[in-house]
Amino acid sequence: MRRRWDIFCTVIDNFGDIGVCWRLAKQLVHEHGHSVRLWVDNLGSFANIAPDVNSRAQYQIIQCVEICYWQRSFVDTEPGDVIIEAFACELPEKYVMAMLQKETNPVWINLEYLSAEPWVTEYHGLPSPHPRFSLTKTFFFPGFVPGTGGLLREKDLLASHDAFNHAAEQEFFRRKDLPRRKSGEIRISLFCYQTAPIENFIQVLSESTVPVLLIVPQGIAADRISALFNHAPCQTKALISYKRLTIQIIPFMEQTEYDLLLWSCDFNFVRGEDSFIRAQWAIKPFIWNIYPQHEDAHQDKLDAFLTLYTAGLPVNVASAVQTMWHGWNEKYELNNLIWKNFAACYEPLVQHNKNWVKQLLKQEDLTSNLVQFAENQL
């Protein structure tokens, strides 16, 4: 049955929140045949990953998804059959009151942040009755193991990945005006937070024994790199060359194009949640810059994933991954040896990532799990 879904998204870190919500909205429409309204409070950030979005429009339809600008003075609207409160954002009071007026209570889901911490399986699916009204919200946790909500994954994603051959990769780089691969070159995509040791990493890469191409989307990292080399910020045409390192700053890409970039690179530095998940489906070695939290609470979250992800790896490979990730997340200083040891693990990590993906595929995808849960409640 065709249902109406409302997804509410408050943009916190510019791209991860809306990136997840946008993928979810499209999958609900195109794979499950539902009607979706996506309520977003920052259309400017949204437009960076979905160029068709008009950041000044109050209402628009993109890829069959209704996109509504979420303002403080919330308009009267009929709530959907299923309401997604993404990442603990708070629904407008006027909307909650309208939910009470529906003949049948809508399914209200708090879609939580992704975590590999063991407690997630205990809290996934727990109901939370409203303190004043006859409404119940359910906590829904994405995750990597059975007993969680799974991960976002379109039904044709891995088939498309497997079909992305060398010729398709070359065509992608040509279309994006990126330089052709040099002999023996390592290609790296870089997407990170302000906290990452970018300048230190640039120095490490410049001392590589083989050529390195570093591809950086416009934003924090690109601005810091530009400042380091006295280039104008946000300059996306010129290449920056420093010893064995070449840096190309690029405009932000639409989500499906970003997937192709991850598939085309040898190593992917990612951040937050959306690009972190996509890097895992890309199968290439990846390094996660986790969102920093008060009193370093994020380090526990980082270690929980590392424990799960590196289980079964040879000791030296697991150590290289853990050391690289900790260095990138400022647990200690990143240096040449740390990067060299990690980069040397390329082949075993690619094989490990193939096995990791097979393990993740034993779970249903997040969107399908949400749909099944909602249908069971309606």
| Residue 336, φ and ψ in degrees, nearest 5 | -60, -45
Q: Is the dihedral of CA 203, 204, 206, 207 positive or negative?
A: positive
Per DSSP, the residues of 61-101 read EETTEEEEE--SSPPP----SEEEEETTPPPPHHHHHHHHT
Can you tell me the distance from the alpha carbon of 143 to that of 117, in angstroms, rounded to the nearest whole number? 9
Compute the C-alpha angle 349/352/354, nearest 5°. 115
Q: Taking each helix axis from N to C terminus, what angle separates 336-343 and 315-328, rounded to the nearest 10 degrees?
A: 130
The answer to whether 243 and 206 have CB atoms below 8 angstroms apart is yes
Cβ partners under 8 Å of residue 72, min gap 6: none
Catalytic option among 17, 41, 85, 154: 17
Can you tell me the distance from the alpha carbon of 30 to that of 15, in angstroms, rounded to the nearest whole number? 22
Catalytic option among 112, 259, 273, 365: 273
The answer to whether 363 and 280 have CB atoms below 8 angstroms apart is no
CA distances from 46 to 29, 67, 73, 213, 259 (A): 18, 10, 20, 28, 17
Tokens of 87: 């990442």
CA distances from 230 to 220, 248, 249, 314 (A): 15, 15, 14, 43
Can you tell me the distance from the alpha carbon of 41 to that of 68, in angstroms, rounded to the nearest whole number? 9
Compute the C-alpha angle 10/272/375, nearest 5°. 60
17 is catalytic: yes
Tokens of 83: 């309401």
Identify which of 2, 22, 1, 3 has the alpha carbon closest to the alpha carbon of residue 11. Answer: 22
Residues noted as catalytic: 17, 273
